[in-house]
């Protein structure tokens, strides 16, 4: 069982154009900023929206293919959907919610309710079977929404920000439970999230969706080791610089020059880790640091014993220094200074 | 249409507002008081159980319930279409279907006559091909009542459908439910209070229908003479009976509105405020 989806769709300001593949039994996390098109992509896969162009197939069966005028209705796709706000049916009990899909598929009532009870037992909610959805906590409602989707044995399970509506206290527990259930789920799954912790805990691979395009796909370790978008760099907390490498220097479009140790010529990306940046008030003489960039402090964030200093200039950077250093330098917003980095501390890879 | 819970606090209501409102209440109450005052209480039961009165009452009930049923059968799909499907000329279609709410009912009756009468644009074929004549028949009464009553159901149900979060229907579809199953098991229960309120309003409007009925269906005891027509007729021949019949109509209307207010309008209102995203 595998999913291949080429999706092209324009909706208002969103211009979605992606190509993804989910392998048999795989859990793929879809990570990206708000408005990137994550939910719209899920709706296309579920059949709640039709693609303008492209082709969605599961096991080479076309679910949506405008070129062939093929469109399979959502109810015939065997694609489960767990909505962000769970959308449990308020006028039914919890067990009736879980049995809904089976009933809709023609399973006799008694049998459907029995199966639904088993599912509830599996997630430890058997005692809430007769409750109304509005009596559930967020974590419980999330589990009910999950087993309601799983009870129909979908080939593909879509989860739209499954943990976003939960408070921090319950999120970790629900995340662990969700991981367990996705492990035992045999179909494919796509989890939309904007929290890399969720992606790390739940998914085998991560796809980064930004402004309607997949900018990076791979394991979370691969993606974070070599960010290819500002979004991922911000998630990981590193400075990402793009430019052209020639003769040991990476030149950015804004005119900054970054001296690097060694890298093949051509369009490249470089990451500068905030803790490898030193800040000095006066231009350093006789330093081993090959890079000295002038800049202006625009923001200082204190995080415990460390402080993150945002610097504007030809090369915008975030540096991380100790609060002790911050205080001895008496840094304020608006101060002019120099940021220095050793060429060997900069990691460069082809764009 | 928005129905709101009455605010609990009354502090700070200006006197002149209260005074004007009191005049308005009096304006509505006085006619009822007048009828109650003039009602021939000793003969009330006799007037009410007279054959002509009972016949009119029965006819009113049968016709208005049929009109309500037809309004539901055709009005709910219409409301769904208006609420959920974007199509060219939707506003025009909505205006057309709501027109009978503001049209003088007599005009509606005349228009129906030219549409469904024996010489009407459709009526002539009904007559020729099916030997079916609607004017001056009980079926004509039902048609006239449906014509004026259905918009009340459509506006109420359309508003409820618009307020309903569509992700409930989306969720049902992804769980394997067909459009029809989704409508029956998810949409309908969610708009149930509004459907009930709309049906009751349509029924009350059908029950009180006079102008379109008398124009299109005439005034024949037993076949087209409904309660309002009987009241009008009795006013000429037997004013005391007219008062009794009028009081019966008032009692029914009042009961419907009181029941609606407590059971459905508030529920329908709170339902709409609960829609979350």
- Look at residue A121 and tell me if it is in a domain: no
- What residues contact A155, with CB distance under 8 A and at least 6 apart? A1, A58, A59, A78, A79, A187, A188
Percentage above 90 pLDDT, chain A:
55
- Averaged over A295-323, what is the pLDDT? 91
For A83, the closest of B167, B177, B189 (CB atoms) is: B167
pLDDT digits (tens, 9 = 90+) for A47-102: 999 999 999 999 888 999 999 889 999 999 999 999 988 999 999 999 999 999 99
Q: Are A195 and A248 found together in one domain? A: no
- Look at residue A120 and tell me if it is in a domain: no
pLDDT digits (tens, 9 = 90+) for A194-250: 888 888 889 999 999 998 999 999 998 888 888 888 888 888 889 999 899 988 889
With a cut of 0.95, is the ipTM above it? no
Amino acid B275: pLDDT: 39
**CA-only gyration radius of chain B, Å:** 22
Question: CATH number of the domain that A206 lies in?
Answer: 3.40.50.300
- CA-closest candidate to residue B109, choices B219, B34, B261, B211: B211
Among A7-16, A295-304, B15-24, B39-48, the range scoring the smallest mean pLDDT is B39-48
**Please, which pLDDT band fits residue B277 given cuts at 50, 70 and 90?**
very low
Range of the domain at A248: 237-350
Q: Are A200 and A337 found together in one domain? A: no
B188 at A interface, C-beta within 8 A: no
Give the tokens for residue A13. 């300001």
- Look at residue A75 and tell me if it is in a domain: yes
pTM value > 0.80? no
Q: Which of A180, A209, A227 is the last residue of a domain?
A: A227
Question: CATH number of the domain that A330 lies in?
Answer: 2.40.50.100
- Count of Cβ atoms closer than 10 Å to residue A112 Cβ: 22
Residues of chain B with Cβ-Cβ distance to A99 below 8 Å are none
Give the tokens for residue A63. 């679910």
Percentage above 70 pLDDT, chain A:
100
What Å distances lie between residue A61 and A71, A152, A156, A157, CA to CA?
11, 19, 13, 17
- Look at residue B7 and tell me if it is in a domain: no
Give the tokens for residue A164. 């976003």
CB of A190 closer than 8 Å to CB of A159: yes
CA dist A127 and A313 (Å) reads 61
What Å distances lie between residue A244 and A16, A227, A285, A340, B230, CA to CA?
28, 17, 27, 20, 93
Q: Which of A197, A227, A257 is the last residue of a domain?
A: A227
Q: Are A223 and A189 found together in one domain? A: yes
CA dist A214 and A17 (Å) reads 8
For B174, the closest of A46, A89, A90 (CB atoms) is: A46
B273 at A interface, C-beta within 8 A: no
Crossing angle of the two packed helices B138-163 and B105-116, in degrees rounded to 10:
110
At A212, phi and psi to the nearest 5?
Answer: 85, 0
- Look at residue B226 and tell me if it is in a domain: yes
Amino acid B13: pLDDT: 84
- Look at residue A84 and tell me if it is in a domain: yes
- Residue recorded with tokens 């709410």: B101
Q: A51: part of which helix (H) or strand (E)?
A: none
**Please, which pLDDT band fits residue B272 given cuts at 50, 70 and 90?**
very low
Q: Count CB pairs under 8 A between chains A and B.
A: 69
- Averaged over A135-155, what is the pLDDT? 92
CA dist A247 and A262 (Å) reads 8
- Averaged over B50-73, what is the pLDDT? 91
Give the tokens for residue A122. 């599996």
- Look at residue B18 and tell me if it is in a domain: no
Q: Are A302 and A220 found together in one domain? A: no
Q: Are A188 and A321 found together in one domain? A: no
- Residue recorded with tokens 């040991």: A248
- Look at residue A103 and tell me if it is in a domain: no
Q: Are A168 and A306 found together in one domain? A: no
Q: Are A243 and A292 found together in one domain? A: yes
A162 at B interface, C-beta within 8 A: no
Q: Are A336 and A192 found together in one domain? A: no
Question: CATH number of the domain that B117 lies in?
Answer: 1.10.3720.10
pLDDT digits (tens, 9 = 90+) for B204-217: 899 989 899 998 88
| B273 has pLDDT over 50 | no
- Look at residue B21 and tell me if it is in a domain: no
Q: Which of A227, A260, A288 is the last residue of a domain?
A: A227
Give the count of domains, chain B.
1
CA of A150, closest CA in chain B: separation in Å?
9
Interface with B, mutate which of A100, A147, A165 (most B CBs under 10 A): A100
Q: Please give the distance of CA B211 from its chain centroid, rounded to a whole number.
A: 14
CA dist B39 and A94 (Å) reads 56
Amino acid A247: pLDDT: 85
DSSP secondary structure code for residue A252 in this structure: P
In SS3 terms, B106-146 reads as HHHHHHHHHHHCCCCCCHHHHHHHHCCCCCCCHHHHHHHHH
Q: Are A186 and A269 found together in one domain? A: no
User: Own/partner pairs for A249-255, CB < 8 Å, 24+ apart?
Assistant: A250/A348, A252/A314, A252/A315, A254/A314, A254/A315, A255/A314
CB-CB under 8 Å, A148 with B173: no
CA dist B201 and B246 (Å) reads 19
- CA-closest candidate to residue A138, choices A164, A160, A163, A166: A166
Amino acid B239: pLDDT: 86
CA dist A6 and A45 (Å) reads 10
Range of the domain at B153: 44-273
- Look at residue B15 and tell me if it is in a domain: no
Q: Are A152 and A76 found together in one domain? A: yes
What Å distances lie between residue B6 and A21, B262, B264, CA to CA?
56, 12, 14
Q: Are A194 and A74 found together in one domain? A: yes
The mean pLDDT value of chain A amounts to 90
* Burial class, A110, CB count within 10 angstroms (exposed 0-12 / middle 13-18 / buried 19+): exposed
- Averaged over B215-228, what is the pLDDT? 87
Amino acid B95: pLDDT: 92
CA dist A128 and A136 (Å) reads 8
- Look at residue B38 and tell me if it is in a domain: no
- Look at residue B24 and tell me if it is in a domain: no
B170 at A interface, C-beta within 8 A: yes
- Look at residue B201 and tell me if it is in a domain: yes
First to last CA, chain A: 33
Helical H segments across B188-265, by residue range: 188-208, 211-216, 227-237, 239-260
Give the CA angle between residues A136, B189, A116 to the nearest 5°: 50
CA of B181, closest CA in chain A: separation in Å?
7
Q: Are A56 and A183 found together in one domain? A: yes
At B162, phi and psi to the nearest 5?
Answer: -65, -35
| B269 has pLDDT over 60 | no
For B171, the closest of A47, A78, A87 (CB atoms) is: A87
CA dist A196 and A31 (Å) reads 7
Q: Please give the distance of CA A209 from its chain centroid, rounded to a whole number.
A: 8
The mean pLDDT value of chain B amounts to 85
Give the count of domains, chain A.
2
CA dist B119 and B113 (Å) reads 8
**Which residues lie across from A22 on neighbouring strands?**
A3
- Look at residue A100 and tell me if it is in a domain: no
Interface with B, mutate which of A75, A147, A155, A161 (most B CBs under 10 A): A75
Residues of chain B with Cβ-Cβ distance to A77 below 8 Å are 174
DSSP secondary structure code for residue A350 in this structure: E
- Residue recorded with tokens 């998914």: A203
């Amino acid at each position: 069982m595998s999913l291949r989806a080429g999706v092209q769709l324009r909706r208002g300001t969103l211009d979605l154009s992606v190509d993804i593949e989910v392998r048999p039994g795989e859990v793929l996390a879809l990570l990206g900023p708000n408005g990137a098109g994550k939910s719209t992509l899920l709706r296309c896969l579920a059949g709640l929206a039709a693609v303008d162009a492209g082709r969605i197939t599961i096991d080479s069966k076309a679910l949506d293919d405008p070129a062939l005028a093929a469109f399979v209705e959502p109810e015939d796709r065997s694609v489960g959907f767990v909505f962000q706000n769970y959308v449990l049916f308020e006028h039914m009990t919890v067990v009736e919610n879980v049995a809904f899909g089976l009933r809709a598929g023609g399973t006799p009532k008694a049998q459907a309710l029995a199966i639904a009870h088993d599912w509830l037992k599996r997630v430890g909610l058997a005692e809430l079977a007769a409750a109304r959805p509005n009596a559930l906590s967020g974590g419980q409602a999330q589990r009910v929404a999950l087993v309601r989707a799983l009870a129909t044995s979908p080939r593909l399970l879509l989860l739209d920000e499954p943990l976003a509506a939960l408070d921090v206290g319950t999120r970790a527990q629900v995340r662990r439970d969700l991981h367990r259930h996705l492990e035992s789920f045999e179909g494919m799954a796509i989890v939309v999230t904007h929290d890399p912790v969720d992606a790390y805990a739940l998914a085998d691979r991560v796809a980064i969706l930004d402004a309607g395009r997949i900018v990076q796909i791979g394991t979370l370790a691969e993606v974070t080791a070599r960010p290819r978008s500002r979004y991922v760099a911000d998630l990981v907390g590193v400075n990402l610089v793009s430019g052209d490498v020639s003769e040991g220097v990476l030149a950015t479009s804004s005119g900054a020059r970054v001296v690097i140790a060694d890298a093949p010529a051509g369009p490249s990306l470089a990451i500068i880790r905030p803790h490898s940046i030193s800040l000095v008030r006066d231009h350093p003489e006789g330093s081993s640091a090959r890079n000295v960039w002038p800049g202006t402090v625009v923001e200082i964030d204190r995080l415990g014993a460390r402080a993150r200093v945002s610097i504007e200039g030809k090369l915008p950077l975030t540096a991380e220094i100790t609060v002790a250093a911050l205080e001895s330098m008496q840094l304020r917003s608006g101060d002019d200074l120099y940021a220095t980095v050793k060429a060997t501390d900069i990691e460069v890879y082809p764009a | 249409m928005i129905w709101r819970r009455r605010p609990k606090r009354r502090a700070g209501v200006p006197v002149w507002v209260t005074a004007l409102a009191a005049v308005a209440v009096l304006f509505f109450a006085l006619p009822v008081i007048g009828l109650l005052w003039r009602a021939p209480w000793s003969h009330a039961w006799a007037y009410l159980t007279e054959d002509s009165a009972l016949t009119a009452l029965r006819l009113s009930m049968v016709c208005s319930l049929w009109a309500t049923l037809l309004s539901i059968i055709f009005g709910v799909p219409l409301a769904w279409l208006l609420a959920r499907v974007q199509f060219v000329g939707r506003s025009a279609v909505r205006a057309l279907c709501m027109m009978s709410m503001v049209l003088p009912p007599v005009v509606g009756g005349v228009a129906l006559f030219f549409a469904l009468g024996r010489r009407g644009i459709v009526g002539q074929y009904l007559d020729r091909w099916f030997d079916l004549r609607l004017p001056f028949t009980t079926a004509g009464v039902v048609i006239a009542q449906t014509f004026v009553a259905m918009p009340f159901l459509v506006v109420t149900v359309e508003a409820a459908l618009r307020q309903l979060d569509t992700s409930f229907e989306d969720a049902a579809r992804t769980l394997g439910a067909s459009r029809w199953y989704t409508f029956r098991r998810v949409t309908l229960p969610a708009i149930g209070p509004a459907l009930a309120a709309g049906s009751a309003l349509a029924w009350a409007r059908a029950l009180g229908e006079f102008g379109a009925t008398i124009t299109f269906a005439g005034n024949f005891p037993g076949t087209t003479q409904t309660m309002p027509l009987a009241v009008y007729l009795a006013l000429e021949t037997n004013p005391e009976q007219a008062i009794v019949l009028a009081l019966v109509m008032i009692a029914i209307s009042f009961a419907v509105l009181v029941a609606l207010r407590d059971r459905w309008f508030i529920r329908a209102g709170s339902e709409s405020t609960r829609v979350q995203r």
